[in-house]
Amino acid sequence: MKLNIALLAGDGIGPEVIDQAVKVSDAIAKKFNHEINWKPALTGAAAIDAVGEPYPDETHEICASSDAVLFGAIGHPRFDNDPSAKVRPEQGLLKMRKKLGLFANVRPTFTFPSLLDKSPLKRERIEGTDLVFLRELTGGIYFGEKGRRDDGETAFDNCVYTRAEVQRLAKKGFELAMTRGKKLCCVDKANVLETSRLWRETVQAMEKDYPEVEVSYEFVDAVAMRLVQWPNSYDVLITENLFGDILTDEASVISGSMGLMPSASLGSDIGLFEPIHGSYPQATGLNIANPMATVLSAAMMFENFGLQEEGKAIRDAVNNALNKGIVTEDLADGGKSYGTKEVGDWLAENI
């Protein structure tokens, strides 16, 4: 296969972890006879510094003409304590999602046996956890009309969903459930919100097309509880943008493997693949950041091209590294640890 991949390293540790994912992907390309053409582009604070814009048109053109986007991390502390800043790295992220039509954020949470004890939860609560959130990413309160009235004394944010938006997300959810445990949980707040009632009735109407999928409907507050109590009771969860933002982050800490969790954002065409962790500014340039989440994001990218074996080869390499203790200091428990680059080298060599 010939693949054009836009490479958005972004801020903080982004460039370092992206380098490792490139190395590992190149090793995959070599082994499986693919050709990857990497196309670097600016985003985030790095892009603001260079051209005053977190998602410049040039970057968009590069992404839009690629087969996929591999993304590092976005965000810089200098923007964090200034909610009124005119240009913010996050705006780049939202604009990119919208312009690339990335309406489905796929966030798996799974456990690595060797990392179970890193979880804040007791082992017996998380063993066997293997769930996937599908978060709607280009609608809802994120993109509705927002502003002020009454001389700035009143603020509003409008949450809007159309049936078509719910359907295309739910369709991905049903399809994903069919390839996994065949359980789908629709997370909403249908006892209060009209948008949630639209979600629920739309999903209910689709049930008949997937008779094998067992569908449940749970309120967002109940899911926030059950995720901590019995995370291994879930398979696929679908939800709207804001609920997904909150719940996927909550889910990410329960496995104890947060630093290893990849994600994909999918739409009609081009997928974007990124680690769920942030730009971790304190670690920038120190060669200590864990590259595994980004490497596993590359695995998701290959799998999304239908290249299952390639994805599996990456996952196997990561598992081997974990078992052999070829890990960065965050996973070393005070024992021997390796640098970002060294872990990347080991993974690439062991593909």
Ligand X SMILES: CC(C)[C@H](C(=O)O)[C@@H](O)C(=O)O
Binding-site residues for Mg(2+) sit at 221, 245, 249
Half-sphere exposure of 276 (CA within 13 A, CB side): 24
CB of 244 to ligand X, least distance (A): 8
Nearest to 277 by CA among 73, 94, 16, 112: 73
> Total residues at the site for ligand X (CB under 6 A)?
6
- Identify the bridge partners of residue 7 per DSSP, sorted by sequence position: 40, 70
When binding is defined by CB under 6 A, the residue of 27, 93, 132, 327 that contacts ligand X is 93
Q: Which is nearer to a copy of itself, 148 or 324 (CB)?
A: 148
342 binds, among ligand X, a copy of itself, none (CB under 5 to 8 A by kind): none
What amino acid positions are annotated as catalytic residues?
142, 189, 221, 245, 249
Nearest to 129 by CA among 226, 42, 217, 47: 226
| Residue 234 binds a copy of itself (CB under 8 A) | no
| Contact present, 207 and 183 (Cβ < 8 Å) | no
Which residue of the chain is nearest ligand X when measured via CB?
90
Q: Which is nearer to ligand X, 293 or 331 (CB)?
A: 293
CB count, 10 Å around CB of 158? Answer: 11
Q: How far is the C-alpha of 328 from the C-alpha of 331, rounded, in Å?
A: 6
How far does Cα 294 stand from its chain's mean position? 10
When binding is defined by CB under 6 A, the residue of 207, 245, 250, 342 that contacts ligand X is 245
When binding is defined by CB under 6 A, the residue of 49, 194, 221, 349 that contacts ligand X is 221
CB of 312 to ligand X, least distance (A): 27
CB of 110 to a copy of itself, least distance (A): 17
Which backbone phi and psi does 80 adopt, to 5 degrees? -70, -35
| Greatest alpha-carbon span in the chain | 63
User: Which residues make up the interface to ligand X (CB under 6 A)?
Assistant: 90, 93, 191-192, 221, 245
